[in-house]
């Protein structure tokens, strides 16, 4: 049997990003994204890689350990994860990673599939199915994009234009709290728990937007932002990461204007695929919204793996609670307590 060695560090070595790029890894496994996880969520970023007996790197994975009360959850990574490199070694990699994470006091591991990595033969853990929608942009011009829209989409974009809605990229860090308030407004409207603090959006701006790896687009009405989306670029993909809007502004159709602008910008950048990110299979309303833009569904899994069995079961029960009305109240209280790792 081949001899493999797993190495783990809180800092990436000089080979990390080169290996990721050579194996078509997404930005979500890069050293830059590791810093976003640290600054934005207060996570402990871990870099894990598998070598053979000669020291040749075979695979690697970025992980983020997040402490919630007395529990530690290891996400690999956020919003997508997976293992860059030899896919046939996923089982070996995860087995060795579980041993290392147990020694670090981690209770549960969550390994997330992505559009470029899906694990079908892991052999451990429970699968939670989600669905992502990918719109193909290859060889499209802006004119072809417009012509390919459904009639209703074109009508709603015209409504936003007639109402005076203008879409602009946000290039002022002082506006990020306004952007964040739009995110919270949408969560409140949809009775959903807030998962990300203001510090997350500040880290996205500081490390992703200013470096040209993403855009925060805002729809302005009378000079005031009324809706926004966050897009992260990882060629050949553009990924829709977050959105938000004020309820009273929905009649102006700002979201349609935003996604149209995001798709046009992606075409300008030479992006071939626009990823609307994963959605719960049961969320039919959100799935219809993503599908109407021409997205093709791909089914992905979150692999939930027990590191320390009893504590992992308690975590899973707690996360189910977070999706209940009481859980949303708790999550909102927790967000105020943990607000702002990075200001």
What digits encode the pLDDT tens for the residues 54-79? 999 999 999 999 998 899 999 999 99
Q: Which residues pair with 135 in a beta bridge?
A: 274
Regarding whether 125 and 173 lie in a shared domain, the answer is no
Does residue 296 fall inside a structural domain? no
Does residue 278 fall inside a structural domain? no
Query: In the numeric block, which tokens belong to residue 172?
Result: 């002022």
What digits encode the pLDDT tens for the residues 27-59? 999 999 999 999 999 999 999 999 999 999 999
What is the chain's mean pLDDT, rounded? 91
Does residue 25 fall inside a structural domain? yes
Regarding whether 157 and 116 lie in a shared domain, the answer is no
Number of domains into which the chain is organized = 2
The predicted pLDDT at position 157 comes to 98
- Domain range holding 10? 4-129+301-338
Question: Residue 66 is part of a domain; what is its CATH number?
Answer: 3.40.630.30
Does residue 291 fall inside a structural domain? no
Q: Average of pLDDT values for 108-120?
A: 90
- Contact status, residue 37 vs residue 29, Cβ threshold 8 Å: no
Confidence of residue 286 (pLDDT cuts 50, 70, 90): confident
The predicted pLDDT at position 82 comes to 87
Does residue 277 fall inside a structural domain? no
Regarding whether 142 and 121 lie in a shared domain, the answer is no
Does residue 293 fall inside a structural domain? no
The stretches of the chain forming alpha helices (DSSP H) are: 16-22, 31-41, 90-103, 142-148, 151-162, 176-189, 198-204, 254-268, 284-291, 309-322, 325-338
Regarding whether 96 and 22 lie in a shared domain, the answer is yes
Query: In the numeric block, which tokens belong to residue 159?
Result: 């409504």
Does residue 114 fall inside a structural domain? yes
Does residue 294 fall inside a structural domain? no
Cα-based distances in Å from 224 to 169, 316, 318, 340: 13, 40, 38, 24
């Amino acid at each position: 049997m081949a001899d493999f060695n797993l190495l783990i560090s809180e800092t990436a070595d000089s080979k990390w990003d080169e290996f990721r790029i050579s194996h078509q890894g997404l930005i979500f496994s890069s050293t830059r994204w590791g810093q976003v996880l640290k600054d934005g969520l207060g996570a402990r970023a871990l870099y894990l890689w598998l070598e053979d007996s000669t020291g040749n790197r075979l695979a690697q994975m970025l992980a983020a350990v997040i402490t919630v009360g007395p529990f530690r959850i290891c996400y690999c990574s956020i919003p997508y994860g997976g293992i860059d490199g030899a896919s046939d070694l996923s089982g070996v990699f995860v087995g060795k990673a579980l041993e290392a994470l147990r020694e670090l006091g981690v209770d549960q591991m969550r390994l997330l599939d992505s559009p470029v990595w899906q694990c079908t033969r892991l052999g451990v853990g429970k699968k939670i199915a989600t669905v992502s929608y990918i719109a193909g942009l290859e060889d499209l011009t802006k004119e072809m994009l417009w012509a390919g829209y459904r009639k209703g989409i074109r009508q709603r974009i015209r409504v936003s234009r007639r109402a005076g809605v203008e879409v602009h990229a946000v290039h002022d860090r002082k506006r990020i709290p306004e952007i964040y308030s739009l995110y919270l407004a949408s969560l409140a409207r949809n009775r959903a728990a807030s998962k990300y603090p203001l510090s997350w959006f500040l880290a996205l701006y500081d490390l992703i937007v200013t470096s040209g790896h993403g855009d925060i687009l805002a729809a302005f009405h009378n000079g005031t932002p009324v809706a926004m989306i966050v897009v992260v670029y990882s060629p050949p993909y553009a990924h829709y990461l977050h959105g938000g809007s004020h309820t009273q502004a929905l009649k102006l159709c700002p979201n349609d204007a935003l996604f149209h602008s995001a798709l046009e910008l992606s075409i300008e950048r030479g992006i071939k695929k626009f990823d609307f990110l994963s959605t719960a299979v049961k969320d039919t309303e959100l799935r219809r919204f993503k599908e109407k833009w021409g997205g093709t569904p791909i089914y992905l899994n979150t692999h939930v793996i027990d590191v320390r069995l009893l504590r992992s079961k308690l975590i899973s029960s707690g996360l189910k609670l977070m999706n209940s009305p009481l859980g949303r109240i708790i999550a909102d209280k927790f967000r105020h307590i943990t607000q702002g790792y990075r200001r």
